[in-house]
């Protein structure tokens, strides 16, 4: 199946890298795919970095083929504007997410002004406090729309460890407020569709490669892409993907790289 495909979209966290370390063989296989004329794009549910930020990280790690890199921060301001117009947004998350929402034409509120919020945007917040969490919950109960880049429970890092993901934080708000969030990133279609447009390829000619069945595999399949589950520790939920690979070298063989 992979030998005839012209494009590949790779998840980053847990697939191409863990934290700041590339997974074994990733650089070599990505370079070989690019050299062989395959078009590449990269997706991340990262709520603390833009595509440009992650492209720079990839280049610094020797992945020179990285051109098209997308995160939910590319579109979160636009999504809020399309759904609710110019909004007063309480941001529980990183400075980068607040800046992305500001670029969308919205006003960012201080935590103490939560009563004025029309939207609550919750991302991965390394400075999370009970005060911030409480403000988000109260704003959502008061009627502010709840928005999040993703529902990922864990953020993989080096050495097989993880940090609590964005989903762990937004679920606390959702449960306390009794509402469900609007999800901007994977597995929702927008980032996948933007990646396909940037590659200039139809979904049927592209494979989505990722380690997460809920966000990568189901999201890719929903837009018509072939799906490859990267599962170095075992097959996992293999039935949900078209193919399962345990390493980048196995992916290279299936893609006809040697």
- Model pLDDT for residues 18-59, shown as the tens digit of each residue: 988 999 999 999 999 999 999 999 999 999 999 999 999 999
Based on the fold, state whether residues 198 and 104 are members of the same structural domain.
no
Q: Where a domain ends, among 121, 153, 183?
A: 183
pLDDT by residue (tens digit) across 176-230? 999 999 999 999 999 999 999 999 999 999 999 999 999 999 999 999 999 999 9
Q: Where a domain ends, among 183, 205, 226?
A: 183
The average pLDDT across 124-130 equals 94
pLDDT by residue (tens digit) across 70-110? 999 999 999 999 999 999 999 999 999 999 999 999 999 99
Based on the fold, state whether residues 170 and 104 are members of the same structural domain.
yes
Is 169's pLDDT higher than 70? Answer: yes
Count of structural domains, the chain: 2
Instruction: Write out the chain in H/E/C secondary structure.
Output: CHHHCCEEEEECECCCEECCEECCCHHHHHHHHHHCCCEEEEECCCCCCCHHHHHHHHHHCCCCCCCEEECHHHCHHHHHHHHHCCCEEEEECCHHHHHHHHHCCCEEECHHHHHHCCEEEECCCCCCCHHHHHHHHHHHHCCCEEEECCCCCEEECHHHCEEECHHHHHHHHHHHHCCCCEECCCCCHHHHHHHHHHHCCCHHHEEEEECCHHHHHHHHHHCCCEEEEECCCCCCCHHHCCEEECCHHHHHHHCCCC
Q: Which domain holds residue 151?
A: 76-183
Q: Where a domain ends, among 158, 183, 208?
A: 183
At 238, is the pLDDT very low, low, confident or very high (cuts 50, 70, 90)?
low
**pLDDT given at position 236:** 55
Is 239's pLDDT higher than 80? Answer: no
Is 237's pLDDT higher than 70? Answer: no
Based on the fold, state whether residues 218 and 91 are members of the same structural domain.
no
Based on the fold, state whether residues 82 and 103 are members of the same structural domain.
yes
The pTM for the full model equals: 0.91
């Amino acid at each position: 199946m992979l030998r005839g495909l012209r494009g590949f979209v790779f998840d980053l966290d847990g697939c191409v890298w863990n934290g700041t370390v590339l997974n074994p063989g990733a650089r070599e296989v990505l370079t070989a795919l690019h050299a062989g004329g395959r078009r590449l794009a990269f997706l991340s549910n990262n709520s603390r970095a833009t595509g440009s930020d992650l492209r720079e990280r990839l280049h610094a790690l020797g992945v020179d083929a990285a051109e098209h890199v997308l995160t939910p921060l590319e579109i979160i301001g636009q999504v809020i504007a399309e759904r609710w117009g110019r909004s007063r947004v309480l941001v529980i998350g990183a400075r980068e997410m607040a800046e992305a929402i500001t670029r969308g034409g919205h006003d960012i509120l201080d935590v103490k002004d939560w009563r004025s919020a029309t939207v609550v945007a919750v991302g991965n917040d390394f400075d999370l406090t009970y005060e911030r969490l409480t403000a988000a919950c109260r704003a959502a109960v008061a009627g502010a729309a709840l928005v999040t880049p993703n529902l990922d429970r864990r953020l993989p890092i080096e050495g097989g460890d993880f940090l609590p993901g964005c989903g762990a934080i937004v679920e606390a708000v959702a449960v306390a407020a009794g509402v469900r969030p609007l999800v901007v990133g994977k597995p929702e279609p927008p980032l996948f569709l933007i990646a396909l447009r940037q590659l200039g390829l139809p979904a049927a000619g592209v494979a989505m490669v990722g380690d997460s069945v809920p966000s990568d595999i189901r999201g890719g399949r929903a837009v018509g892409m072939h799906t490859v589950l990267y599962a170095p520790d075992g097959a996992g939920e293999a039935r949900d993907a078209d193919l399962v690979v345990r390493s980048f070298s196995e992916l290279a063989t299936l893609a006809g790289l040697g």
